[in-house]
Amino acid sequence: MKGYEQQDVYIYNSLSKTKEKFVPLHAGAVGMYVCGPTVYSNVHMGNCRTFLSFDLVFRYLKHLGFKVRYVRNITDAGHLENDGESGDDPILKKARIEKLEPMEVVQKYTVDFHTIMALFNALPPSIEPTATGHIIEQIEIVEKIIAAGYGYEKNGSVYFDVVKFNKDHAYGKLSGRKLEDMITNTRELAAQSEKKNPQDFALWKKAEPQHIMRWPSPWSDGFPGWHLECTAMSTKYLGNQFDIHGGGMDLKFPHHECEIAQAEASTKQSPVNYWMHANMLTLNGKKMSKSTGNNILPNELISGRNDILSKAFSPTVAKFFMYQAHYRSILDFSNEALLASEKGFQRLLDAYHSIDDLPTASSHGLEIAKWRQSCYAAMNDDFNSPILIAQLFEAVKFINAVKDGSASVSEADRTLLKETMSNFIFDVLGLEDAASEGSKVTEKLNGAVALLIELRNRARANKDFDTSDRIRDELAAVGIQLNDGKEGTSFSLN
């Protein structure tokens, strides 16, 4: 019997705002689409959190035996900020700054994205389509939307008529916004606007002469609107209706709202059964973001080269830290939280590695089969990883009780315990054991460097600057940089 026949998964559907039992359109198979990155800069830890949230969903559904087709796109076609009315195309802007072809920018940051995802042990999606590879499909959808009466052309650009659409459909149902309110809030209409209403969004934009990324279309040489690519690629590979669509919370409006409108306008069907939105990673209480610079990059995490970090952390520890929060909760990134996660994860691995050495007897203590089901129950409840991790720590407690003789375990239970822990830690959460060796070395290194920092402080206090400078310089020579700050001295790896 397949795992999914034994487990009922419930998913919080952003559309209905309730947890719903997950019933895929085709028994045993799941179609899932997740909005991928716009490849004009390095992904930050916030972006990583969203992609790791959906890696967990992908892994768990696969673990249950579903055949999952996971489509995650690469946004590599330039689109304008502000829904196609004005603003810059970030890929072109970056190309100018770095003196690269736009496609070189795209290649550089796509490679970076893949490297980072591999570093976090995220599984590659089943299909990773690019927006530039699906221009024809996007043009076809624009044609269908125009034919259905919900799109209009103006000066070579095409816009989606939100007001007209809203007369026949409910625009705003995902984000809970009402068009009337949006209209009252944006009273002034730019005089030179091509749009009939400020809420309309671009389906196709005529390219200005300096715009390099352009394609021929029935309306002009131009480029597609941002929302269109996800409608084109999700329906091409998953069908007009599919099971799960995911992305970060900040994409709910306008991006996902517009995807629903485009799909309903062109196919007369509601495209997605379960909308899932991952919540934000914050830094100092504010959303991590590319544009404000309030972010941490994965490379800074791994090297410790950022002022808020006292040391380097492994990607698997950062992932464990993220999964200690539910994907729908806001999570604040901090050095202290990472230090705590590092300790916790090590405790979990140590307990796991000691299972084989546990003495066996007739068992009394934790009922392993029941405990195993509670691990599933946590994941069945909208992929509740913090509850799952709490269950794994119940097992740690039990293992330690067996070690000190206050509980016992049968041989069969010991085997089941090990298998279950391995399934959830490595397959479902996708954490890495290899890091345990690495993090042991890191731990030892931390201890040794802390000692050297203390000796250096003592030398400085004694005005023995020969010694203090020597400690700093020789550590620097082997790639360990000491950073003196208000809170004391920290170090980073070069």
Q: In the complex, which residue's CB is closest to ligand AMP?
A: 248
Residue 116 as a binder of ligand AMP (CB under 6 A): the answer is: no
Kindly state the smallest distance separating residue 283's Cβ from ligand AMP, in Å: 8
Residue 248 as a binder of ligand AMP (CB under 6 A): the answer is: yes
DSSP line for 358-377: --B-S-BSS-HHHHHHHHHH
For residue 258, with 0-12 CB atoms within 10 Å meaning exposed, 13-18 middle and 19 or more buried, which class applies?
A: buried
What the block records as the tokens of 480 is 């360990």
Backbone angles phi, psi at 55, to 5 degrees: -65, -40
β-pairing, 222-224 vs 201-206, is antiparallel
Q: Where are the beta strands (DSSP E) in 107-170?
A: 151-154, 157-160
Selection from ligand AMP, Zn ion, none that 49 binds (CB < 5 to 8 A by kind) is ligand AMP
For residue 5, with 0-12 CB atoms within 10 Å meaning exposed, 13-18 middle and 19 or more buried, which class applies?
A: exposed
Residue 251 as a binder of ligand AMP (CB under 6 A): the answer is: yes
CA torsion sign for 15, 16, 22, 24 is: negative
CA distances from 17 to 14, 277, 285 (A): 5, 11, 25
> Is residue 386 within 8 Å of 375, Cβ to Cβ?
no
Selection from Zn ion, ligand AMP, none that 37 binds (CB < 5 to 8 A by kind) is ligand AMP
The residue range among 20-28, 61-69, 82-90, 287-295 that interacts with ligand AMP, by the rule CB under 6 A, is: 287-295
> Is residue 491 within 8 Å of 449, Cβ to Cβ?
yes
The residue range among 21-29, 85-93, 244-252, 308-316 that interacts with ligand AMP, by the rule CB under 6 A, is: 244-252
Among 250, 350, 381, 433, binds ligand AMP (CB under 6 A): 250
> Which residues lie closer than 8 Å to 485 by C-beta, 6 or more apart?
307
Selection from Zn ion, ligand AMP, none that 230 binds (CB < 5 to 8 A by kind) is Zn ion
Among 35, 71, 116, 435, binds ligand AMP (CB under 6 A): 35
Among 31, 90, 151, 247, binds ligand AMP (CB under 6 A): 247
Residue from 415, 411, 413, 408 nearest 364 by CA: 408
> Is residue 229 within 8 Å of 176, Cβ to Cβ?
no
Residues paired with 242 in a beta bridge: 272
Within 380-399, the residues that bind ligand AMP by CB under 6 A are none
SS3 of 68-102: the string is EEEEECEECCCCCCCCCCCCCCHHHHHHHHHCCCH
- Work out the number of other CB atoms within 10 angstroms of the CB of residue 33: 30
Beta carbon nearer to ligand AMP, 177 or 460: 177
Beta carbon nearer to ligand AMP, 107 or 415: 107
Kindly state the smallest distance separating residue 329's Cβ from ligand AMP, in Å: 11
Residue 38 as a binder of ligand AMP (CB under 6 A): the answer is: yes
Residue 254 as a binder of ligand AMP (CB under 6 A): the answer is: no
Kindly state the smallest distance separating residue 117's Cβ from ligand AMP, in Å: 12
Residue 47 as a binder of ligand AMP (CB under 6 A): the answer is: yes
Residue 296 as a binder of ligand AMP (CB under 6 A): the answer is: no
Beta carbon nearer to ligand AMP, 219 or 320: 320
Round to whole Å and give the CA distance between 491 and 436: 21
Residues lying near Zn ion in the complex (CB under 5 A): 35, 230
Residue 281 as a binder of ligand AMP (CB under 6 A): the answer is: yes
> Is residue 230 within 8 Å of 33, Cβ to Cβ?
yes
The binding track of 50-89 with respect to ligand AMP, each residue x by CB under 6 A or -, is: x---------------------------------------
Residue 225 as a binder of ligand AMP (CB under 6 A): the answer is: no
> Which residues lie closer than 8 Å to 66 by C-beta, 6 or more apart?
2, 4, 24, 28, 29, 30
Residue 244 as a binder of ligand AMP (CB under 6 A): the answer is: no
Selection from Zn ion, ligand AMP, none that 46 binds (CB < 5 to 8 A by kind) is ligand AMP
Residue 37 as a binder of ligand AMP (CB under 6 A): the answer is: yes
Beta carbon nearer to ligand AMP, 46 or 102: 46
The residue range among 46-54, 122-130, 236-244, 394-402 that interacts with ligand AMP, by the rule CB under 6 A, is: 46-54
Beta carbon nearer to ligand AMP, 37 or 151: 37
Q: Where are the beta strands (DSSP E) in 127-176?
A: 151-154, 157-160
Hey, is 486 helix, strand or coil? coil
Kindly state the smallest distance separating residue 279's Cβ from ligand AMP, in Å: 7
Selection from ligand AMP, Zn ion, none that 250 binds (CB < 5 to 8 A by kind) is ligand AMP
> Is residue 366 within 8 Å of 402, Cβ to Cβ?
no
Selection from ligand AMP, Zn ion, none that 47 binds (CB < 5 to 8 A by kind) is ligand AMP
Beta carbon nearer to Zn ion, 182 or 232: 232
Among 64, 117, 158, 280, binds ligand AMP (CB under 6 A): 280
Can you give the binding site for ligand AMP, defined by CB under 6 A?
Answer: 35, 37-38, 46-47, 49-50, 247-248, 250-251, 280-281, 287-289
